[in-house]
Amino acid sequence: MASADFASPDRTARTGSPYAIDHVFMLVEPGGAETMAKLAKGGLTQSWSRKHVGMGTANIFVCFDNAFLELVWIENEAEALSGPVGKRLVERNNKRNIGAMPYGLAIRAPSMDHVMPFEGWRFTPPSVSDMKNTVMIANSSDDPAQPFLFRSQRSVPPKEWTDELAGKRQVPGGFGSITSWRLDLPKGVAPGKDLQKLQELGLLTLGETSGPTAAWTVTASRLDGGEPRRFRLPDCTWED
């Protein structure tokens, strides 16, 4: 696959877009240990893990300099079903084998009051949660065949976080930034207008896969200046 098939930060800069992909999340098995082990085979390390108190979910962060991958699982289904976001995640998790997309896509903007490139509704995390910012959930997230699209809680990349949740990022494995994101949709599943808009903005590239499940190809830069490396989700395989 040619490098031109992948959206990159340079392309985003050329479009003049103020937006960036903050992170992609993937619904995984409880605890995330099996998925994290597959990623670790390629040199990735866990940055942080926590429970989403009051939301019934928990996660693992895998932070790069400019973005991160989040592994999310249902920790308490009853608690998750009590809220609008958790309810949608439970649906995706339970129906992933019949076409529901197990991915979320968070878009970062320069400030929390910046207009987003999609229409949606506002979600305020439960008062017991350590996530305090009200965010926008895209209306398109109601379609389980599309990614769960929303506004990030943060306005800066992991390299600029001051709360230590990013840990050492992927420096121990020699990785710097995520340089491109490609989302391949199953044959017969058309990208919605929100996904098409994100591609127009240069944030990602859309394609088609012959498999039954949507797949991400993520390209990461090497700190030593070597050839970037690519891994694919959901199987967490490396292309080299």
Distance CA 237, CA 231 (A): 5
Per-residue pLDDT at 47 exceeds 80: yes
Architecture of domain 3-158+171-238: Roll (3.10)
Q: Give the pLDDT band (50/70/90) at residue 84.
A: very high
Q: What six digits make up the tokens of 84?
A: 């609008």
Distance CA 2, CA 96 (A): 29
Distance CA 178, CA 70 (A): 14
pTM listed for this prediction: 0.92
Distance CA 180, CA 140 (A): 23
Comparing CA positions, the residue from 45, 13, 31 lying closest to residue 220 is 45
- Percent of the chain exceeding pLDDT 90 equals 82
Strand (E) positions, the chain?
20-27, 48-52, 57-63, 68-74, 103-108, 120-123, 135-138, 148-151, 175-186, 205-209, 215-222, 229-233, 237-238
Q: According to the model, what pLDDT value does residue 13 have?
A: 46
